[in-house]
Structure 1
């Protein structure tokens, strides 16, 4: 009888150990407390259903820096989106695997949770839908999401992070996209000299910066408005046209002639770090952009009224150009760019 009881006890113990082994581990994965800058626009609605979490952001950053997202394991998101350049780079056009040349200039990644559109032509409305684009684009990573999943699904660090974020180790396309977006949502830039002046934190504009701000408000703020320094509209401002026949700007998305060669107004935050400028890097410096505006832009049927109603130009004196650039440099967030 004692022998039977002992065997039963051992059996129960084994079952108990087995259950303990398969018991899902519960992780504390708190939401990240984001310091939303005063006066910034409302959040993109997609943020509310994909709020950044401790491990979600950690997973997203790891994916952002992983070169296995590209077909030949040579480039990651961070290869083109470099922190010191406000997550842009200094190439005129994006450079992908095997030195393939992309269609457009690499946009900065900053304050993404406040944007309503992504990419130069605004073809993406939710940041969670963006990561697939560079992964599958031939000129960028030239891969597929299935190939990416196959590469990382057995990685022990990834398995641990996916479990902490989603409750199990399964690697899916949706989980990859959501995690990268969570990381990008945390990239908030709002601590430039301009911000500290506006917050009355003891800094003041120099005389030239103040004059540049006055010129900016008079001649630039109609497009570069809000605390993002963009009104997020799409405009044809008469920049030199990309000769690539695949380019049509916003017109590629809408199919409307009125949107031909119109592009999303870029934010001027950290503009000091994101040269060259224009949809395909037409201008090497801020000075060359202002010189172009002053001399006159290309005419077009849908040229923005800011130019159309003013002889296709924004007249600027040499001193105004100098002061404008000095003001725009007050929008540089050295902490954000780790300068």
Structure 2
């Protein structure tokens, strides 16, 4: 009896209790971990980018889903005649643009608008130049099925992809079933595109206190951020009105004075409102030196031409955005009137936005090319 009490007494010592609790917690963690699906990849981005983004509840980002999406992004079987992939209009080396005014589709015809960069789509809420789609999953179906782009129905894509041996296992890993569906093709593409984060430029390093800009770049930053005030003598280019966040864009639509009578109605085609005529989504300026030509129709071949436009060639129209009206660096001036040296300063700043780590990131590259070259993924 005394021995039994002694044993109970020893068991109740604080050290023994802590040991048992620790063992129990460890066992619990092991059990929970064993029931977790594929780990979610860490979406790495600076705190100043903010967390104002939405990932669909039915399409959380997983390692397996991103891998599948990357394979599909570079898969030509998703196009009619196996001619094109998403990469055809969105090349990594060009910050996921294609260097053309407008892109050519599988039928040999041209698209109506310039291919936008895919950088930092995680934060975008309205996709395409006119904002017609509200999610990456929805937007993916447009280029896949448009007869002047990839030109193939989703049902045909499902059949073709199902016949490629590598894909059923990839779909199994990503979605728990090897049955390939239209919805899961779109979901996988959305997962991959959410990981295309560009945040490693000299500008990012400057914001983090890790890069010292040149005097010219600092002048360019000041001009970029400031609105002109000829009364006080403060000169500026007013770029920050549309691009004044660390991500270098705001979720806005503007008529930026390209034409007095816009040939492309832009956002008006969706809303039916006259005030939206010639308005287009503000694109990011990240990697801007790699993404020429510029504007929704690719009319400007160089960034210098873009600055010339904003400085001296804004076209008046009823839907011209108000921030471009009656703004000048000169008293009683009717144009922004930037000086030649000021334009050079702004370009020096814009060069800071090139992110070499983004355009060379192997996680964004063509996995089919790697498989062909070295026999492994």
- Give TM-score, length-normalised by structure 2: 0.79
Match of 1:331 among 337, 347, 353: 353
After TM superposition, give the deviation of residue 231 of structure 1 in Å.
Answer: 1.1
Which segment is superposed worse, 148-157 or 234-243? 234-243
Asked if the contact 2:72/2:189 (under 8 Å) is kept, the reply is yes
Match of 1:230 among 239, 249, 254: 249
Distance in 2, matches of 1:51 and 1:329, equals 35
After TM superposition, give the deviation of residue 293 of structure 1 in Å.
Answer: 1.6
Correspondence for 2:212: 204
Residues 76-115 of structure 1 aligned to structure 2 (within 5 Å) = 76-115=85-124
Which stretches in structure 1 are left out of the alignment for 5+ residues? 1-25
The answer to whether residue 321 in structure 2 is matched with residue 299 in structure 1 is no
CA 1:161–1:43 in structure 2 vs 1: closer, same or farther (change >3 Å)?
farther
After TM superposition, give the deviation of residue 227 of structure 1 in Å.
Answer: 1.4
CA RMSD of aligned residues (A): 1.8
Three-state SS of the structure 2 residue aligned to 1:282 is: coil
Distance in 2, matches of 1:206 and 1:161, equals 48
Residues 129-278 of structure 1 aligned to structure 2 (within 5 Å) = 129-201=138-210, 203-218=211-226, 219-240=238-259, 247-278=264-295
After TM superposition, give the deviation of residue 50 of structure 1 in Å.
Answer: 2.4
Distance in 2, matches of 1:107 and 1:172, equals 27
- Give TM-score, length-normalised by structure 1: 0.88
After TM superposition, give the deviation of residue 200 of structure 1 in Å.
Answer: 1.4
Distance in 1, matches of 2:289 and 2:167, equals 36
CA 1:78–1:324 in structure 2 vs 1: closer, same or farther (change >3 Å)?
same
Asked if the contact 1:88/1:109 (under 8 Å) is kept, the reply is yes
Asked if the contact 1:233/1:264 (under 8 Å) is kept, the reply is yes
After TM superposition, give the deviation of residue 77 of structure 1 in Å.
Answer: 0.2
Asked if the contact 1:128/1:177 (under 8 Å) is kept, the reply is yes
After TM superposition, give the deviation of residue 143 of structure 1 in Å.
Answer: 1.0
Which stretches in structure 2 are left out of the alignment for 5+ residues? 1-34, 227-237, 328-332, 362-377
Asked if the contact 1:298/1:312 (under 8 Å) is kept, the reply is no
Asked if the contact 2:45/2:199 (under 8 Å) is kept, the reply is no
Give 1 or 2 for the bigger CA radius of gyration. 2
Asked if the contact 2:107/2:147 (under 8 Å) is kept, the reply is no
Distance in 2, matches of 1:141 and 1:241, equals 33
Correspondence for 2:232: none
**Count of aligned residue pairs for this structure pair:** 311
Distance in 2, matches of 1:196 and 1:242, equals 42
